[in-house]
Chains A and B, each alone.
Chain A
Amino acid sequence: MSVLEIKNMTAFYDDFQALFGIDLSIEKGETVAAIGANGAGKSTFLRSITGLVQNNADKFIYKGIDLIGKAAFDIVDLGIAMVPEGRKLFPSLSVEENLLIGAFGQRPGNWTLDRVYQMFPKLKQRKDIAGTALSGGEQQMVAIGRALMSNPDMLLCDELSLGLAPIIIKDIYGALPGIKAEGVSLLIVEQDINQALEIADRVYCFQEGKISLTGKPEDLTKEQIAAAYFGR
């Protein structure tokens, strides 16, 4: 049974329409990747799910609750957390405070500071310095930890690999199976196709605000993906 079900979602930036009739569903514990070129609508789609972008849909149900019109802060309380593109750590908060602010809603669950520090030990050593003083990879760890601190049932990750060295990307993606093992559903937006195909149970390819291809990674050919990705 789907935890998130979306039918015919549209999204707008003022008068500009960014998404056209998106259909997508995610099962409990499933990892879904949204791939596509720059400007294809992937990030807008994630931001629409979180309520940060004005959107509409025929159906937008999360665990039986209609999310249409819900505010972003209410959606977090329902169990959807996001790791935003560019990390977006709070500059005036230390590493530990950035993690603690993730638990602002005090949603019950298993994720605690200690567990986040177990997952990313480097962060414990640097817990008192400003989050934005960390390296890009460490900032990404804080951003993931911060999202987990809200004890989500669904984690949305926007461009985890953006601007990071390959070895750091490996570390970051290495943390995801552990999160998935907790029963958390993952929706990952990624431009690195290989990375996305490696981790995803299913893939949705975005092109110009629409879904151009969907399927299981093992069922999709390179040619199909290239055509859906680049539109040729």
Chain B
Amino acid sequence: MIEWANTIIQGILTGGLYAMFATGLAIIFGVMRLVNITHGDLIVLAAFIAMVVIETTGFNPFLSLIIVLPIMFIIGYFLQRGILNYTLGDDLLPPLLVTFGLSIVIQNVLLEVFSADSQRLKAGAIETSSIQLTDGLSIGIFPLITLLTAVTMIILLQQLFNRTRLGRAFRATSDDPTTAQLMGINHKHIFGLAMGLALGLVAIAGVLMAVRSNFDPSIGPAKLLYAFEAVIIGGLGSLWGTLIGGIILGVAQNIGAKIDPGWQILAGHIAFLIILVFRPNGLFPRTRDD
């Protein structure tokens, strides 16, 4: 019994990381209605940028975020203003194709610059520290930090979206970019800010991922898949739904691994498919969090 409780707790903690992967994706879809195929590769890119920052400055991975986060924000802003804004419209295909192309470009550039070697960011003792709850049941400090980071980010994002002038502009532009212009809102700038914000979250997700597990230039698509599944399970555009989606995915994977280690990834996909069959619009289908 205690083993199953442990499995579920570890799954919830894993879900925190998946929620971090997914939150940026949810914002990109929620504001721009853009399906960002390159999301996973951007998470890996953030991890590599963090690696360079750490090697250059000697910062620990968490401190590296004071440099990585603004860099990713700027990349996001100019990616949206310079490329992705031109793909938006009634047709969903152009953004899919362009972000798919960008995904390939990022993977290959990372491969060229950093090689295919597996990397990892070292955060010291915190990586392996844990809190012993009972005999056979413990919580890893780092996974707990990851989950709490995801919850904190979602609370902050909700405050931003629901209580600030910029948040209203995000929502209005998402509803109707043309009418938003009649409010004095530069929709292209707002979309740039939303992408910058999303890639700021990607920066955090990338660093957390890189401390928790090995990474190399080819793992982006797998991260994208987890992010997609978390977003879709939760209901497109719902931030709390995204957290729940990530947790369901994490728990399903851990239960799968408990039954048979080879079933870990498959169990997550099966849980995703089952939810999709019964709730095609996800568990919390809405575009506004309130």
Q: Interface on chain B toward A: helix, strand, loop, or mixed SS?
A: helix
Chain A proximity mask over B158-180: 1 for CB below 8 Å, otherwise 0: 00000001001101101110111
Please report B residues at the A interface, Cβ cutoff 8 Å: 165, 168-169, 171-172, 174-176, 178-187, 287-288
A137, CB-defined interface residue at 8 Å: no
Within residues 36 to 85 of chain A, which ones have a CB less than 8 A from any CB in chain B? 50-52, 71-73, 76-77, 81-82, 84
Chain A nearest CB, measured from B33 CB (Å):
13
Chain A interface size, under 10 / 10 to 19 / 20 to 34 / 35 or more: 20 to 34
Known: A71-B186, A92-B174. A52 touches B181 (CB 8 A): yes
Cβ of B169 and Cβ of A101 under 8 Å apart? yes
Cβ of A150 and Cβ of B287 under 8 Å apart? no
A150 contacts across to B, CB distance below 8 A:
183-184
Cβ of B179 and Cβ of A90 under 8 Å apart? yes
Cβ of B171 and Cβ of A93 under 8 Å apart? yes
Cβ of A73 and Cβ of B184 under 8 Å apart? yes
Known: A88-B176, A92-B287. A72 touches B182 (CB 8 A): yes
Question: Given the complex of chains A and B, what is the CA–CA distance between A91 and B237 in angstroms?
Answer: 14
Given contacts A51-B181, A92-B288, 18 further A-B contacts (CB under 8 A): A73-B184, A76-B184, A81-B182, A88-B176, A90-B172, A90-B179, A91-B175, A92-B287, A93-B172, A93-B175, A97-B171, A101-B183, A101-B185, A104-B165, A104-B183, A105-B183, A147-B182, A150-B183
Question: Given the complex of chains A and B, what is the CA–CA distance between A62 and B73 in angstroms?
Answer: 37
Known: A71-B186, A92-B288. A104 touches B169 (CB 8 A): yes
Cβ of B181 and Cβ of A90 under 8 Å apart? no
A209, CB-defined interface residue at 8 Å: no
Cβ of A90 and Cβ of B182 under 8 Å apart? no
Chain B proximity mask over A183-212: 1 for CB below 8 Å, otherwise 0: 000000000000000000000000000000
Question: Given the complex of chains A and B, what is the CA–CA distance between A97 and B178 in angstroms?
Answer: 18
Question: Given the complex of chains A and B, what is the CA–CA distance between A39 and B172 in angstroms?
Answer: 28
Question: Given the complex of chains A and B, what is the CA–CA distance between A76 and B175 in angstroms?
Answer: 19
Question: Given the complex of chains A and B, what is the CA–CA distance between A104 and B181 in angstroms?
Answer: 10
A73 contacts across to B, CB distance below 8 A:
181, 183-187
Chain A nearest CB, measured from B176 CB (Å):
6
A100, CB-defined interface residue at 8 Å: yes
Closest 10 CB pairs of A and B: A105-B184, A72-B181, A76-B184, A92-B288, A88-B179, A90-B175, A90-B172, A92-B171, A73-B186, A73-B181
Question: Given the complex of chains A and B, what is the CA–CA distance between A119 and B179 in angstroms?
Answer: 23
Chain B nearest CB, measured from A69 CB (Å):
15
Cβ of A92 and Cβ of B175 under 8 Å apart? yes
A145, CB-defined interface residue at 8 Å: no
Cβ of A52 and Cβ of B174 under 8 Å apart? no
B172 contacts across to A, CB distance below 8 A:
90, 92-93, 101
Chain B nearest CB, measured from A156 CB (Å):
9
A84 contacts across to B, CB distance below 8 A:
179, 182
Cβ of B181 and Cβ of A101 under 8 Å apart? no
Chain B nearest CB, measured from A7 CB (Å):
24
B168 contacts across to A, CB distance below 8 A:
93, 97, 100-101, 104
Chain A nearest CB, measured from B170 CB (Å):
10
Chain A nearest CB, measured from B48 CB (Å):
36
Cβ of B287 and Cβ of A104 under 8 Å apart? no
A81 contacts across to B, CB distance below 8 A:
182
A71 contacts across to B, CB distance below 8 A:
181, 186
B175 contacts across to A, CB distance below 8 A:
90-93
Chain A nearest CB, measured from B257 CB (Å):
39
Within residues 101 to 157 of chain A, which ones have a CB less than 8 A from any CB in chain B? 101-102, 104-105, 107, 146-147, 150
Residue of chain B at shortest CB distance from A78:
B184
B169 contacts across to A, CB distance below 8 A:
101, 104
Chain B nearest CB, measured from A209 CB (Å):
21
